[in-house]
Amino acid sequence: MKENIMIIGASGQIGSELTLRLRELYGAGHVFATDLKEPPSDVRESGPFEILDVMDDKRLIHFVIRNKITQIYHLAAVLSGNAEKLPMQAWHINMNSLLNVLDLAKEVEELHKVFWPSSIAIFGPTTPKKNTPQLTITEPNTVYGISKLAGERWIEYFYKRYGVDTRSIRYPGLISYKTEPGGGTTDYAVEIFYQAIKHGRYECFLDHDTTLPMLFMADAIEATVRLMESEADKLSIHAGYNIGGLSFSPEELAAEIKKHLPEFTITYKPDFRQAIAETWPESIDDSVARRDWGYQPRYDLAEMTRVMLQKIKEKLNK
Minimum CB–partner distance for residue 163 and ligand AKB (Å): 28
Helix ranges (DSSP H) in the chain: 15-26, 41-45, 57-66, 80-85, 87-107, 143-162, 188-199, 217-229, 250-260, 272-277, 287-293, 301-315
DSSP secondary structure string for all residues of 68-100: T--EEEE-----HHHHHHSHHHHHHHHHHHHHH
- Cα atoms in the Cβ-side hemisphere of radius 13 Å centred on 175: 29
Mark 112-131 with x for binding to ligand NAD (rule: CB under 6 A) and - for no binding.
Answer: -----x-x------------
Q: List residues near ligand AKB by CB under 6 A.
A: 79-80, 119-121, 144, 173, 184-186
What is the number of the residue whose Cβ is closest to ligand AKB? 184
Cβ pair 22, 222 in contact under 8 A: no
Minimum CB–partner distance for residue 125 and ligand NAD (Å): 19
DSSP bridge partners of 50: 34
Minimum CB–partner distance for residue 7 and ligand AKB (Å): 18
Which residue in 100, 186, 247, 283 binds ligand NAD (CB under 6 A)?
A: 186
36 binds, among ligand AKB, ligand NAD, none (CB under 5 to 8 A by kind): ligand NAD
Minimum CB–partner distance for residue 45 and ligand NAD (Å): 17
As a whole number of angstroms, the distance between CA 164 and CA 110 comes to 11
Picking from 271, 270, 273, 264, the residue whose alpha carbon sits closest to that of residue 195 is: 264
Would you say 70 or 81 has its CB closer to ligand NAD? 81
Residues of span 28-87 touching ligand NAD by CB under 6 A: 35-37, 53-55, 75-77, 79
Residues that bind ligand NAD in the complex, under the rule CB under 6 A: 8-9, 11-15, 35-37, 53-55, 75-77, 79, 117, 119, 171, 173-174, 181-182, 184, 186
